[in-house]
Amino acid sequence: MCAAIFFLSAPVAGFTLTAMADADRSGDLRRLASARAAERRMDSSYFNARFDVRVQSVYTVTLGAVALVFALTLQALFRTRRWPYGAHLVFAFHLVSFMFLATVAAGLSRRAGREGSRRYRR
């Protein structure tokens, strides 16, 4: 459920290529992205959309794999207590769910901070 919330709210929270390129003060990300789009002969909006979906998908899958590895690590650390692997897996999934929600909250607060600072610069 939290992964779906992350996947749907990531663009609103600023996890897009456009938002990341705007936040990059050096301009390297925008330069690299436009070079890659030109190399692949893609329109920049199409390239941005593909990049956004790929980053969100990889982040989601990576955190799922992290949950499995974390549960195995907990199983090894608490081997004397003889808790079943499922107990460790449930805890790991709760931790990953929290990470998804914290990531969205951090993105939203960062975006709100940028918009708030623009409002008060006048």
Q: What is the mean pLDDT of residues 3-22?
A: 79
Rounded-to-5 percentages of helix, strand, coil across the chain: 85, 0, 15
- Quote the percentage of the chain above a pLDDT of 70: 91
* Average pLDDT along the chain: 84
**pLDDT tens digit sequence for 44-82:** 889 999 999 888 888 888 888 999 999 999 999 998 888
Tell me the HSE value of 49 on the side-chain side, using a 13 A CA sphere. 5
Provide the whole-model pTM.
0.66
